[in-house]
Amino acid sequence: MTSGDYSEKPVKKYSLTKLLRESKVAQGLFLISPANLYLFILMVLPLLLVTGLSFLSRGTYGQVEFKFNLTNYTRLVDPLYAKVLVYTLYVGGATTVLCILIGYPLAYYIARAPTRQRSLLLFLILLPFWTNFIIRIYAWIMILREGGILDTILQFLHLTKTSLSILYTPTAVMIGMVYEFLPFMVLPLYTSLEKVENSLLEAAADLGAPPWKAFLRVTLPLSIPGMVAGTILTFIPALGMFVVPDLMGGAKTILIGNVIRNQFLTARDWPFGAAASMLLLILTLAFTLYYTRKAGFSEDLLI
């Protein structure tokens, strides 16, 4: 076929096909449109709705009234909510730190295991996801409740006489949170630890570093990207968590996630719930920006 074949066909002046044929920009936009559509429907649109909602008013019967007002935001300044917010940050932070402390040795062990065992161990890390999260939380309730599995075992071994009464305490919330987010810390940590070549540790030893110094100077710095990724994947969702405090904290432990949920479902004050959501969103965004600027967010972070 020669190029003459094209010129002979009559072409409409502003046809889409002509545009796509001639413009690289149009081709590019066309090809990424599925992704754009996806982002628009699932992210931009809901976000616009929530933003808009947060400036409206609650009607007497819990309906949304189209009256502009800022009180949703001014109400958030209340010390009561400030306290919830601080506590949320504390729980999120503690969850993240505990996930690092427990997840790091685990990820290290998997990364150093023989290749054949590695995939099995990773599979075991992911296995819990096969069961619904709520069901797994109820399993924890069975374990921790008074006279539950943990109490039974401890009393059978004559280690304790009375119940530990862990369920419906902040400790129970902590256990549930760490349990839920641990895989999100272990997986990125594993990815970066697995990339630390053995020859680097040999080089460190060769240059006079005993194992613990080699760990501090070589392994640990090289696993920072994994820790950053794991922290983002743990801390941010932990801030918005409401199921664990609800079910395992006996509704005594209130996080910002519970506040938002209650406004939408119990108090039927959608505009205020939306304002609280916006606060959480801004907080998360600020944290992510600050943290990644400081720790250096690059493409190899999540690979």
Whole-angstrom distance, CA of residue 215 vs CA of residue 59: 61
Interface with other proteins (CB under 8 A), residue from 65, 78, 146, 202: 202
Nearer to other proteins, 97 or 302 (CB): 302
What is the chain's alpha carbon radius of gyration, rounded to the nearest angstrom? 26
Q: Which stretch binds other proteins (CB under 8 A): 62-70, 77-85, 204-212, 267-275?
A: 204-212
Per DSSP, the three-state class of 1 is coil
* CA 181 from centre of chain: 8
Site for other proteins in 5-24 (CB under 8 A): none
CB of 213 to other proteins, least distance (A): 7
Helix axes 79-112, 270-295, angle to 10 degrees: 40
Number of Cβ within 10 Å of residue 141's Cβ equals 16
200 forms part of the interface with other proteins (CB under 8 A): yes
* CA 75 from centre of chain: 27
In one letter, which amino acid is 55? Answer: F
Interface with other proteins (CB under 8 A), residue from 142, 203, 216, 285: 203
Whole-angstrom distance, CA of residue 200 vs CA of residue 198: 5
Residues binding other proteins: what is the number (CB under 8 A)? 17
CB of 217 to other proteins, least distance (A): 7
Nearer to other proteins, 75 or 195 (CB): 195
Bridge-based pairing state of the strands 64-65 and 57-58: antiparallel
Tokens of 121: 């161990």
Nearer to other proteins, 146 or 206 (CB): 206
CB of 178 to other proteins, least distance (A): 29
Nearer to other proteins, 70 or 207 (CB): 207
Tokens of 187: 């997986």
199 forms part of the interface with other proteins (CB under 8 A): yes
CB of 302 to other proteins, least distance (A): 18
Q: Which stretch binds other proteins (CB under 8 A): 13-21, 174-182, 215-223, 269-277?
A: 215-223
Helix (H) or strand (E) holding 64: strand 64-65
Tokens of 18: 């002509």
Judged by the rule CB under 8 A, the positions of this chain that interact with other proteins are 197, 199-200, 202-210, 213, 217-218, 221-222
